[in-house]
Amino acid sequence: MVEINLIPDVKRELLKAQKLRNMITVISIMASIAAIGVIVVLAVIVFAVQGVASMLADKSIQDEYSKFESHNGVVEALTLQSQLTGIENLKDKKYLASRIFGVVNELSEAATNPAIGITELRFDKEAGTLTIDGQASQGFTALEAFKKTADRTVIYYRDGDGAGYSRTSKCKYTAADGKGKYSKANLMSSEITTSEVSYGQDASGNKVLRFTITLTLDEHVLAFNSFDSDAIDICAPGAQNVTDSYIQIPKGMFTQKAQDIEEGK
């Protein structure tokens, strides 16, 4: 059997290309229609559904506010509630500046006798620093005594968590294995600084040493925890040798020389 191809190869390829073009066109049109449909749906959601939902929410808020506003004294109640809520925060930020006088009095009386004279006190709340302008007839001995007394002064303060100290009397505390109500800290959180040291005459004509010292107090010293006198103790050491040689040589470094042992004993 003999077959005769009456369509040339070029014509056949052209027909295939036309068929492929028609298929791609149909697919493109369908995809465009689908995309337009998605856009229309999104537009309906954005401009219609969300608008209706927002309107309903606004209406609900307005209705609830009208009910709330209809109650007598609601504004006063809310104002009072707000003020009561803020009291605790104000308490945490408050400090007892009056304790500064107790600190200075404790240090000056413990350091020298007679105590140094205070001419001016300045307290910087932000920095927590106490600046003391003073004068002393004993000169540098009184100044060094005051500085070293301040360096060795500790505080016991009543702490909510407690740190293991129980109070028996003023400045008398014992360790309580973590069950005590008091914590212990140094009076100063950094070293004391001295400036403007010079000699002058007091009102009686006596020669005195004038000086300015600055102490950075521990944050618990002036903390508003209670007006109770037992809330905090400022415990300065007693009278002591304040010479540099005594302070720098550890206690117990020297001892009495042992005696010889006689034979037969």
**Where does the pLDDT of residue 264 fall: very low under 50, low under 70, confident under 90, or very high at 90 and above?**
low
For residue 141, what are its two tokens? 């001995």
83-116 pLDDT, tens per residue?
Answer: 666 666 666 667 778 888 888 888 888 777 777 8
Asked whether the predicted pLDDT for residue 58 surpasses 50, the reply is yes
Domain ranges of the chain: 9-70, 96-248
Choose the weakest-confidence range: 65-69, 97-101, 153-157, 182-186. 65-69
Q: Do residues 202 and 117 touch, judged by C-beta distance below 8 A?
A: yes
**Where does the pLDDT of residue 211 fall: very low under 50, low under 70, confident under 90, or very high at 90 and above?**
very high
- Determine the average pLDDT of the residues in 241-246: 46
pTM of the model: 0.54
Instruction: Return the higher-pLDDT residue of 261 and 46.
Output: 46
Instruction: Return the higher-pLDDT residue of 260 and 115.
Output: 115
CA 88 to each of CA 219, 224, 254: distance values in angstroms, whole numbers, following the listed order: 18, 11, 55
- Determine the average pLDDT of the residues in 190-202: 87
pLDDT of residue 60: 85
Q: Which residues contact 161 (CB under 8 A, 6 or more apart)?
A: 183
